Structure 1
Amino acid sequence: MPKQPTVPTSFSPADLRADEADEGIWPRVTREVADDLAADALARDRAGKPPFDEMSRLREAGLPALLMPPGPSPHGSDWRTACAVIREIATADSSIGELLGRHYVLSWSARFFSTPEKAARLEYRAGSEQWLWGGDTAVLETEAGPDLTLTPTDNGYVLNGRRAFASGVAVTDRLALAAVCTDTGESLLVVVDPAHPGVLAEPANDRLGQRLAGAGSIDFDNVPVHADHVLGPVPRDEHAISPFASLAPLALRLVLLHVGLGIAEGALAEARDINRIAPRSWPHGGAEHGEYLDRPGGDPYLLLAYGELVTAAHTAAAVVERATEALTQGLLTGRALGIDARADIAVLVAAAEAVTNRSVMHITTRILELTDGADSAAEGPGFDRFWRNARVLTAHGSPSHSLRDIGDHYLNGMHPALTLRA
């Protein structure tokens, strides 16, 4: 009888470091998945169906368990590799890149908010069964109070309420949710099985962009939550939040930046293929450059435009990579992370956000102009999807907030606020 694997009882920062022998696997696997997704990306975007098929492709490749420690995943890896995977997938299909990125962050919810022992047990099962995670670890308030509530019972709680999600509605295997206890007012992070009949998903099928990320709303009607499925408290007071737990929203912001970079790089690559073979008529000044007319890709105005856009993409990539390295080191530090180190990470993520969001919107807008994509027919190459996806992805953040935090940190040495909201 084969020996059964031992379930780990806890994790240490060393568990986050990938085996060097396995590191070469993920780029090859990811490239194959990205090529597969790219082949029918436009058709799937126009169909706008829930991403069940896409999730099957990710599971076949083993990507949902990539961040899990050795045991459930034979080739567990680290955050640098995870971010590279997200970016590569996003070049082919940014919706699936976002879905995977949010899953990776939520898969670490137990590490951020629970005990090492409970996190080890949960992650082992999640990795073994290749769960896809959805949810939100922030507490959301409405005029009537919290949107999700937990009412105590003899063996746990009952969950009620409704919440909107940016991804994973109808396709996730587990939800990590923050809700408020009706008795104590304490916010708790719980794990919910969306297969329960009291969980009703309502996908948003008519989004402007990121149509395959699985956005929508979920209603919870007297859904039981056993005490074992309560991961731990989610502090609402800034002074009670640990620096390590506050990396959760920073990790989410960072993975979305990698999705944005993927959108920009995917748009540039596809536009390049078009402009290499298709002539482009410029409204002014083309006649004096007759020597370029024998090759469509030699038009000086086209070269200037691509030089500008590629430089913008490289600039964004540089600041995102620096933020990625800082966050990875912070996650390796674990619960010993200090407040100053967390502030440095937050500022680097904010800087990457300010640069990248602006660059992604500029690149995808200019690509429409370079390819006549703004007024292309419905059966055309579909460059509008890059702009639509970028617009939806970047619309949630205000660059002024990021820039203010960066300036206050640089000028006055102030730390960005500890928060669990992305």
Structure 2
Amino acid sequence: MGTPEFWMRVGRELGDDLATDAPDRDRAGKPPYDEVARLRDSGLPTALMPPDTAPDTASDTASDTASGGTGGGTGGGTGGGLDWADACAVVRRIAAADGSMGELLGRHHVLSWSARFFAAPERVSPLEARAVREQWLWAGGTGPAGADGPSRPGDGGACLVLAPATGGFLLNGQRTLATAVDVADRFVLDAVCASSGESLVVLVDPRHPGVGRAPLTDRFGQRLAGAGTVRFDDVPIGVDDVLGTAAFDEDTAVPFATVAPLALRLMLAHVALGVAEGALAEARELSLAASHARPGSAMEYLLAPPPGTDADLLLAFGELALGVHGASAVVERATTAMAQTLRTGRALDARGRADTAALVAAAGAVTDRAALRAGEGILELAEADGLDRFWRNIRVLAGRGPTGPALRAIGDHFLYGGGGSPARWW
């Protein structure tokens, strides 16, 4: 499998490779066939599966079944991949070089946890073993916090419907996905059962002839992530392809199942932060190159004026770097909490989930602000071809949801959900 240090080295090398032609690929905006081939050759999609966990004991499984899925552990998975913090670090390094590939890998990792979030414990190991064996690349989205926006009737979004059929269901409807539409090996999606009205999380093989895929070709940012629209026409979904019930209602769902959207939000914060770090690194290189350019050369006008000669320029770079460093600290704290939450698994209680949710909300809000400012700032400081891609990618990543509701949720948790212990936050 390789150590975390090995995979970080792979991530750095792959990031360096992706960075060499990132501006040209961004301008072309083609489906990411070549990029995904590079990812597969590196082995990162398999490394970004969930880590091994010790199989649940019989008593744990019995307790879990009796309590409706709240026993300890994550279900005895054998994904064999990196743990949460290491996976986030690798994704962030890739995002610094190529935001689209960072998002594609980040969503892949979060969705690869779907069996642990939604399925019965005894189903986790076989499913993850198959995913590793067949080297699946995951794509999709489950619910309002996923890539697709609302997906339940009455929520204002497109709804996928499962019609009961012999041996399972038939899936019909249309969904827009943020990544890997043309290159994924499995989609993870929520759909409404026509007979019961229950929202179920299902696995779909994109190679079925009833699956029609239409890539988006005119995206503002994240042009290489492979976003697109997928249509399902009587696609058979076997009983074994139904993972479990979608966790839309935090008051009634098993707390661990409701961690899925939190994990995605935090992973996207890592992606946005990685893009911001990549933007600052490239602007710094241009600045240093400009400071050593011979007088009168075209390089002088890439950045105006060179650092060391303009205090305002130094101040501007300092503010941008400080914002990104500050966001990184908040994101790392949320990452530590999420790692513990994932280790807790089905033993997670509502209080633990709420604490993690608040830290993730803080990480997302702070990162959105810092990343957007970094993306805008480098456009003000530099006039080099290709730098606009960082800003456009950040706008797409940071624009997935308003910060107002997140800030209100943070305030609500701080005032009423912290058990009189603000030190847990600060």
TM over 0.5: yes
C-alpha contact (below 8 Å) 2:158/2:174 kept by paired residues:
no
Deviations 1:53-85 (A, max 9, x none): 111111111111223445999962200000001
SS in 1 for 2:203: strand
In structure 1, the residue matched to 2:359 is 348
In structure 2, the residue matched to 1:286 is none
In structure 2, the residue matched to 1:277 is 289
In structure 2, the residue matched to 1:297 is 307
Stretch deviating more after TM superposition (307-316 or 296-305)? 296-305
Letter in 2 for 1:48: G
| Aligned mates of 2:79, 2:160 — CA distance in 1 | 37
C-alpha contact (below 8 Å) 1:157/1:225 kept by paired residues:
yes
C-alpha contact (below 8 Å) 1:62/1:130 kept by paired residues:
no
In structure 2, the residue matched to 1:392 is 396
SS in 2 for 1:261: helix
The alpha-carbon distance between structure 1 residues 74 and 115, as it changes in their structure 2 partners (threshold 3 A), is closer
Match among 321, 335, 347 for residue 332 of structure 2: 321
C-alpha contact (below 8 Å) 1:149/1:160 kept by paired residues:
yes
* Alpha-carbon distance, 1:309 to partner: 1.0
Residues 1:126 and 2:131 aligned together: yes
| Aligned mates of 1:296, 1:335 — CA distance in 2 | 55
Unaligned runs of 5+ in 2: 54-76, 144-149, 293-304, 420-426
Residues 1:232 and 2:244 aligned together: yes
SS in 1 for 2:136: coil
In structure 2, the residue matched to 1:61 is 42
The alpha-carbon distance between structure 1 residues 46 and 142, as it changes in their structure 2 partners (threshold 3 A), is farther
Deviations 1:253-292 (A, max 9, x none): 0010011111111000100111112269xxxxxxxxxxxx
The alpha-carbon distance between structure 1 residues 142 and 44, as it changes in their structure 2 partners (threshold 3 A), is farther
Match among 174, 188, 204 for residue 192 of structure 1: 204
| Aligned mates of 1:85, 1:145 — CA distance in 2 | 33
In structure 1, the residue matched to 2:92 is 87
Runs of 4+ residues deviating >6 angstroms: 71-75
| Aligned mates of 1:62, 1:327 — CA distance in 2 | 25
| Aligned mates of 2:225, 2:167 — CA distance in 1 | 35
Match among 11, 26, 31 for residue 50 of structure 1: 31
Residues 1:166 and 2:178 aligned together: yes
The alpha-carbon distance between structure 1 residues 62 and 145, as it changes in their structure 2 partners (threshold 3 A), is closer
SS in 1 for 2:307: helix
Match among 264, 269, 292 for residue 276 of structure 2: 264
* Alpha-carbon distance, 1:359 to partner: 0.5
Stretch deviating more after TM superposition (90-99 or 270-279)? 270-279
Name the count of aligned residue pairs. Answer: 375
Unaligned runs of 5+ in 1: 1-18, 281-294, 374-379, 416-422
| Aligned mates of 2:110, 2:80 — CA distance in 1 | 18
C-alpha contact (below 8 Å) 1:190/1:230 kept by paired residues:
yes
The alpha-carbon distance between structure 1 residues 266 and 226, as it changes in their structure 2 partners (threshold 3 A), is same
Residues 1:31 and 2:49 aligned together: no
Match among 165, 171, 193 for residue 181 of structure 1: 193
Letter in 2 for 1:34: G
The alpha-carbon distance between structure 1 residues 323 and 276, as it changes in their structure 2 partners (threshold 3 A), is same
In structure 2, the residue matched to 1:413 is 417
| Aligned mates of 1:107, 1:29 — CA distance in 2 | 20
* Alpha-carbon distance, 1:29 to partner: 0.9
| Aligned mates of 1:365, 1:253 — CA distance in 2 | 22
SS in 2 for 1:248: helix
C-alpha contact (below 8 Å) 2:158/2:175 kept by paired residues:
no
* Alpha-carbon distance, 1:102 to partner: 0.6
Residues 1:148 and 2:160 aligned together: yes
* Alpha-carbon distance, 1:153 to partner: 0.9
C-alpha contact (below 8 Å) 1:368/1:384 kept by paired residues:
yes
| Aligned mates of 2:339, 2:52 — CA distance in 1 | 18
* Alpha-carbon distance, 1:236 to partner: 3.8
The alpha-carbon distance between structure 1 residues 410 and 225, as it changes in their structure 2 partners (threshold 3 A), is same
C-alpha contact (below 8 Å) 1:192/1:229 kept by paired residues:
yes
Stretch deviating more after TM superposition (115-124 or 74-83)? 74-83
Residues 1:362 and 2:373 aligned together: yes
C-alpha contact (below 8 Å) 1:22/1:75 kept by paired residues:
no
Letter in 2 for 1:55: V
C-alpha contact (below 8 Å) 1:109/1:137 kept by paired residues:
no
* Alpha-carbon distance, 1:91 to partner: 0.3
* Alpha-carbon distance, 1:297 to partner: 2.5
In structure 2, the residue matched to 1:377 is none
The alpha-carbon distance between structure 1 residues 173 and 152, as it changes in their structure 2 partners (threshold 3 A), is same
The alpha-carbon distance between structure 1 residues 166 and 74, as it changes in their structure 2 partners (threshold 3 A), is closer
Match among 294, 317, 320 for residue 309 of structure 1: 320
The alpha-carbon distance between structure 1 residues 48 and 268, as it changes in their structure 2 partners (threshold 3 A), is same
What's the TM-score once normalised by structure 1's chain length? 0.85
Deviations 1:85-109 (A, max 9, x none): 1100000000010011011111111
SS in 2 for 1:257: helix
RMSD (Å), alpha carbons: 2.1
